Each structure stands twice: as structure tokens, then as C-alpha cells.
Structure 1
Amino acid sequence: MSLTHEANRSAKVGKPPRRPQSKRPSRKAAETRAGYAFLAPWLLGFIALTAGPMVASLYLAFTDFHPIRGGEWIGVDNFTRLFDDPRFLDSVQVTVTYAVVGTPIKLAAALGVAMLLNNRRRGQGTYRSLFYAPSLIGASVSIAIVWKAMFNDQGIVDDIGDFFGTWQGGWVGDPSKTMPMMILLTVWQFGAPMVIFLAGLKQIPGELYEAADVDGAGPWRKFTRITLPMLSPVLFFNLVLETIHSFQVFASAFIISGGRGGPANSTLFYTLYLYQRGFGQGQLGYAAAMAWLLVIVVGIITLIFFRTSRYWVHYTGEGR
């Protein structure tokens, strides 16, 4: 039956003629293929550089693998050996101390400076840039070298202390001072959380502070009753990120200790010891087990943060 005859027949019964089906692919299918084509480089990179190495390291964690002599399957022996390793326990203690002490001080410094910069004043943009600059360069190898030179014996910190009659004798070689030195380094890099805090402070309605002024509330009461509750989502975000970062510190500890974690294992951070085992001693299976244990611990800590956030994180418009 011809198309013309079908059209005439459809017109007689009051129905529109059927259009011939196109053999071209639909526009939606074409857009889908184009999307996958644009995603392909990222997908290949993710598989080759992230997912693939993760699967390989998970396999290595259950083997006694050496890059030269190969390896054999040993099950969970690597994980059980960890807790019999005194240097591993030292690295856990150093990292936990750094995270528990350094992270709150860094967030407190970031919040304090953000509150100061939240007030309008001349040169405000310059001040923000100056305070943010250490976060751009603080994690580099060059800054770690400078930091080591500053706190070394006869460094600038010793010179300043000697000028005021409190000569220190060098922080780098003193096990009791290396942790404060590392914490000062991370606190000095408070620019990133400071910017996030500053953005959160801008979102707090000024009417709340005006109402508090009418009620006669002081600065501390306004801070605890208005600023902290309204800023709690931002504080939660910064707390999670900075805690994760504190467990990943490596470059500064490697440079300052010369890759040894000394003196007396006082700078033997978890990732530094992992590096020593995996790339210094060739125990890739042991290092992989350490890496996966770190992933599990950080995941548990993050889960705890999210579970407990319901008790202290308050969102605008949230029903109570």
C-alpha cells in the first residue's frame, strides 16, 4: 500500500497519516554516546590510576611481596604483624597526637582570623590574600626545607630566643620539641579553612546580631549562641577535611627528619613509616596492609563524625 493511499484513507476516517519511521538514531542516544565519549578519558584514568592500583594493593596486602623476589600469599599475617611492630605503634601514636592536637588548634586559628577579616576595613582583600598565601605554598618541599632551617640549631628561631635570653638549642634535634614544631607548621597553613569559615560567616543574617544587641548580649554570648550554631555545618565540613589531611601528612615529616622519622621516632608519621617499609625496605605487602588499615580507620572516624553531627550541627530551616 502506497503512502499516498494510506494518507487519503487516514484523512477519510479523521486520523492523521503516520509518518515514516526514521532510520537515524534518536537525539537522546546520540547525546548519551557523546557524554560517554567525553567521560572516557576520566574513566580510563580512574581505572588505570585509581581503581586498578587499589585492587592491586588490596591483593598485595595479603601477600609477602618484594619487587625483586616476588611474593607469596600469606593471608592476614601482614595485618597481625602490624600490632607486634613497635615502630608501627610509634607511628600511630605520633599521627594520632598530631591529629588530635593540631587539627583543633588549626581550626581555632582559622576561625579567629576569619572573624577578624569578616569586618569591613581598608585593604581587606590584601589581608585575606596574605593569610591565605601559606596554604598555597605550605605543603611544598621548599617550605619544609625553610621550616627545618628556621628551627634547626642556630637557626632564626634560636637567634630570636637567644636575643630574649631563652636560647633553645634547636627544635629539630629535640624529641620533645619536634611535635610542637610540626603542629606550628600545620597551624601556619590555616588559609584554606579560613576562607571556608569566612564564606560561612557571610551567610549569617545580621538581624540575629542586632536582636542580640537589643537583648544586651555580650560578644561571648553572641559567639556561642549565634555564630557557632549558625556556623556548625561549615565547622563540620572543615573538621572532616582537616582530620583526613592530618592522617596524610608526609612531605614535611620526610624533609624535616631526612626520611628517618627521628629523633627517637618523634616525627615518624604513619605515612612516612609506610613509605619506609614499602619503598625503603621493599616490603610492599606490609606497606599495602598499612595503607588499607589507614583507609579503614579514616573511614570509621569519618562515619563517627557523620553519626554524631546530628547532635551539634544545625542547618538553617531544619525542623527541631
Structure 2
Amino acid sequence: MPGRRRSGRRRDDVAGYLFLTPWLLGIVLIVGGPVLASLYLSFTDYSILGVPRLSGLDNYVRMLTDDPRFWTSLGVTLTYLFVSVPLVVVFALLLALVLDRGVRGLPLYRAVFYLPSLIGGSVAIAILWRSVFGGDGLFNAGLGLVGIDTDFSWIGTPDSALGTLIVLNVWQFGAPMLIFLAGLRQVPPELQEAARIDGAGAVRRFLSVTLPILSPIIFFNVLMSTVNAFQAFNTAYIVSNGTGGPANSTLFFTLYLYQRGFTNFEMGYASALGWALLLVAAGVTALLFLASRRFVFYGDR
């Protein structure tokens, strides 16, 4: 009997690995292979048209000491991240709290609010955004209706161009809002009732009951929004016509990496930039996980 059990278990394991084979091949060939190739290329002088020539740490030294656009793009990306991510999370949570109060037609509101998350990263929306915030766009037309006449190009001015992209990112709050809404439905009503009986008002109940229970969901939304912010590319590329302008104000790190790799054909240097972005993203993510130990509440702790 024990031998038969082991044989049956072995057959199940083999069957499981066979079913996993397409996924494993995808990880190795589509993800793992290119990742290792980019790591190798980051130590080479490679222009796509020629043969990679090993150059040691030259790409990384050049990046850190002789490339001001590297620091500019990193600053733009981090500014975008640290401004837009909190706004997205707070706005999504506020909308979820409103909808959780039993709004009539809730399925319709959920669909309408989620729609921007589906189309927000598309080329069409980026083109539309450029038109809305142009000198003769809908935003200035709306200001004209309240007596503010201006032909100021919000998308074409360095001081406001990045802000318009932040607004676009905040507009895509639908996905985190739905996650918050699902989390609010899991808050035990008896805890809310107990706090109400103890005399806690709405604000105190939110801070002492709802927020701690939602803290894992808040952490998840912050983490996913952070990853998405590091990957932002389409909107900046379309809005700036691939230049990162005006005056490098929308030069996201991913856009600069694209310029180096596919415009200047410096694929070795672009690979080094990719690994630099990975290290920065990993560092920010690690800080989030370290902070979560103090601010994220799990029921089993």
C-alpha cells in the first residue's frame, strides 16, 4: 500500500509539472532569457547594428557621473510617483467610502468609475489628454465658462506639464477603488456597532476600526500603484511626441531608456538604465515592506 501511494503521488506530481510546462517555458524563454541577456548587455558597448563588445562598468560609470538626463529622468519619475500614488490611493478610498454607504445604482457607478482604469493607458486617451490641456483645449474652455479666459497651454509649459500627467494617473482610480470597496464590505459590522455604543463618532470609528482593518488593502494598492508609476510610458511618450518635453519636464525614466535604446541605438547603455530602474524600484518597494511592519495590521498578529 505505501508503495502504491508513493507511485500515485509521483504520477500526480508528473501530471502537475506537465500542466505547468507552458508557464515554466514562458518564464524561462520570455522572461528569464531576456532578463539575463539585458544584464550581459549592460556591461557591453552594443549599438544593435554591431556586435556587443565588453566594456565593463563603463555604462554605469557614465550613467552616474556623466549623464545629467539620467538624474533628470529619475527625478521626474520619483516626483510623479510620490505625488500621484498618494493621490490615487486617497481619492480611491474616499470614493469607496461614499459608495459603501448604500448608493442607489451602485453597479452603474462601479462600472463608470472603473472605465478610466481600462482605457487610461491607451494611446487614444493620451492624445485626448494632450488636446484637453492644450491652449485651446476643453480645460481652458471650462475655465472660460466661469469667467477665466486664458490660452495657457498646460501640457506645453514645463511647470504644469507633469501635473497634467499626474491628473491623468489620478483619473485612473477605478481599480483601487473597487478593491477598497470589496475591503469595506469585509469590515465586521459588530465592531462598528461596538465602537458606536462606546460613543465613538464617525471619524473615530473610521480611524480606530475601519482604517486598521483596511491597512493590508491600503498597502496592496500603494504597492501596485507604485509599480505602475515606475512603468509609466505611453502617456509621456504621446503627450511629448517622444521627447520628454517641454524642457524634459515629462522625461520619465522609461521614456529616456526608450530614447537611448531605440532612438540612439545604444542598447548596451539602455540595458544598464533598465537595471538601474530595477534597483531603484526594488529599493522603494523594500522601504514600503519595511514600513508596512509598523502600519499594516493583520488579524492574526
**TM-score after normalising by structure 2:** 0.94
Instruction: Pick closer, same or farther for the CA change 1:210–1:26 going to 2, 3 Å.
Output: closer
Q: What amino acid does structure 1 have at the position aligned with 2:108?
A: T
The CA distance in 2 between the partners of 1:156 and 1:36, in whole Å, is: 55
Aligned match of 2:84: 102
The CA distance in 1 between the partners of 2:152 and 2:280, in whole Å, is: 37
Aligned match of 1:92: 74
Aligned match of 2:48: 67
Aligned match of 1:213: 196
What is the aligned counterpart of 1:138 among 117, 120, 124?
A: 120
Higher relative contact order (CA 8 A, sep 6+): 2
1:124 aligns with 2:121: no
1:267 aligns with 2:253: no
Counterpart contact for 1:151–1:157, Cα < 8 Å: yes
Instruction: Pick closer, same or farther for the CA change 1:32–1:209 going to 2, 3 Å.
Output: closer
> Once the two structures are superposed, what CA deviation does each residue of 1:56-109 show, in whole Å capped at 9, x if it has no partner?
000000011111122311111111111221111110111010000110001000
Structure 1: runs of 5 or more not aligned: 1-18
What is the aligned counterpart of 1:36 among 17, 22, 32?
A: 17
> Once the two structures are superposed, what CA deviation does each residue of 1:195-240 show, in whole Å capped at 9, x if it has no partner?
1111111111112222222232222222211221111111111111
1:317, CA displacement in angstroms? 3.4
What is the aligned counterpart of 1:239 among 209, 213, 222?
A: 222
The CA distance in 2 between the partners of 1:168 and 1:248, in whole Å, is: 32
Aligned match of 2:59: 78
The CA distance in 1 between the partners of 2:151 and 2:218, in whole Å, is: 36
Q: Number of aligned pairs?
A: 297
Aligned match of 2:176: 193
Describe the SS at the equivalent of 1:26: helix
The CA distance in 1 between the partners of 2:238 and 2:107, in whole Å, is: 33
Aligned match of 1:203: 186
Counterpart contact for 1:161–1:168, Cα < 8 Å: no
State percent identity of aligned pairs.
47
> Once the two structures are superposed, what CA deviation does each residue of 1:223-282 show, in whole Å capped at 9, x if it has no partner?
211221111111111111111111110011111111110000011000000000001100
What is the aligned counterpart of 1:113 among 90, 95, 99?
A: 95
The CA distance in 1 between the partners of 2:10 and 2:300, in whole Å, is: 41
The CA distance in 2 between the partners of 1:155 and 1:301, in whole Å, is: 36
1:168, CA displacement in angstroms? 4.8
What is the aligned counterpart of 1:315 among 286, 298, 301?
A: 298
Counterpart contact for 1:162–1:168, Cα < 8 Å: no
1:304 aligns with 2:287: yes
Aligned match of 1:57: 38
What is the aligned counterpart of 1:150 among 116, 125, 132?
A: 132
1:37, CA displacement in angstroms? 2.2
Structure 2: runs of 5 or more not aligned: none
Please provide the CA RMSD for this pair.
1.7
Aligned match of 2:267: 284
